[in-house]
Amino acid sequence: MKKLSIIFCICTLLLSNLLAGCGSKEPAPAADHKLRVVVTFNAMKEFTQAVGQDKIHITSLIPDGTEPHDFQPTTKTMQALSKADILIYNSTGMERWVEQATQAAANPKLVIVEAAKGTDRISLTEADEIRAHGQYDPHTWLSLSCAQQEVKNIAEALAAADKANADFYRKNAEKYNQKLQSLLAAYQKKFSKLEQKDFVTGHAAFAYLCRDFGLQQQSIED
C-alpha cells in the first residue's frame, strides 16, 4: 500500500506538471486588453511582431520546421482561431486552407488580413504550379520590396483594430521598412557586380527575390 501511495503521488505530480505545460501554450488571456493576433507561419510572425511588439499577443499556427504548403489545420488551429481578434496570413495561394478553417472556427469577430494584398504579383505559367497555388506565385514575402507592402498592411490592420495604439503600429512599421529598404539597396548593389546571375534551388520559390536583384533561379524539382 505504501508503494502504491508513492506511485500515486508521483503520477499526480507528473499529471499536474503536464497540464500546466499544456496550459502555457494557450494564447494569453485578454484581461490586459492586448490584441490576440494569430499568424500562419514564421515570416508573418516576424513581420507582425516587429509592428505590434508588446501591444499584442501573437500565436503562430504552423510550427517551425513544418512545410507551409503541406500544413493541415488541426483542432488546436480551430481553438486558436476561435479566440483570436485578428488572423494574418500571406495569401490564398500559400495557405489555401484559410477560408475553410476560418469558417469552421465560427468566430464572428475575427478580422482576416491578407498580408500580400497590393503587392506586385508574378503570374504562374506552369499548369502544375497553377493547380497548386492559383494564378500567382505566393512567395511574396521573400522579396524585400513586397515585404514592405506586407508590413504596411499588417500595421494598418492592427491600427484599425486598436485605434489607441495606431501611431505606435505605424511608426514601428516605418522603422522596420527602413531596415528592409536598406537591405534591398545594399544587396542590389552587391548583386549588380556579379557576372553569374544564376543559382540552383530545390523549390522554385524565389522569383520575387530574383526580380529584386536581377537573379535567375534554376529549380531541380520537376
pLDDT, tens only, 51-91: 999 999 999 999 888 888 778 999 999 999 999 999 999 99
Q: Is residue 81 within 8 Å of residue 27, measured between CB atoms?
A: no
* Angle of CA points 203, 205, 210, to nearest 5°: 125
29/138: higher pLDDT:
138
Q: Which amino acid is at 55?
A: K
Instruction: Give the span between the Cα atoms of 91 and 140, in whole angstroms.
Output: 9
User: What's the mean per-residue pLDDT of the chain?
Assistant: 86
* Angle of CA points 65, 147, 105, to nearest 5°: 60
Instruction: Give the span between the Cα atoms of 118 and 49, in whole angstroms.
Output: 21
**What are the backbone angles phi and psi of residue 39, rounded to the nearest 5°?**
-120, 160
Kindly calculate the radius of gyration of the chain based on its CA atoms and give it in whole angstroms.
Answer: 21
Residues whose CB is less than 8 angstroms from the CB of residue 29 and which lie 6 or more positions away in sequence, other chains included: none
| Range from 19-28, 93-102, 199-208 carrying the lowest mean pLDDT | 19-28
Helix H or strand E encompassing 148:
helix 144-161
**What are the backbone angles phi and psi of residue 196, rounded to the nearest 5°?**
-95, 115
Q: Which amino acid is at 91?
A: S
Written as nine digits, the cell of 216 is 535567375
**Per-residue pLDDT at 189 exceeds 60:** yes
Taking only the tens place, the pLDDT of each residue in 27-55 is 444 457 899 999 999 999 999 999 999 99
Q: Mean pLDDT throughout 94-118?
A: 95
pTM for this model (two decimals):
0.82
Tell me how far CA of residue 202 lies from CA of 135, 216, 217, 221, in angstroms.
21, 13, 10, 6
**Per-residue pLDDT at 17 exceeds 70:** no
| Domains of the chain and CATH, by start | 32-187 (3.40.50.1980)
What 3-state DSSP class applies to 108?
coil
* CA-based nearest residue to 140, from 159, 114, 158, 173: 114
What 3-state DSSP class applies to 153?
helix
At 134 the pLDDT is 75
Helix H or strand E encompassing 39:
strand 35-39
At 222 the pLDDT is 59
Q: What is the chain's length?
A: 222
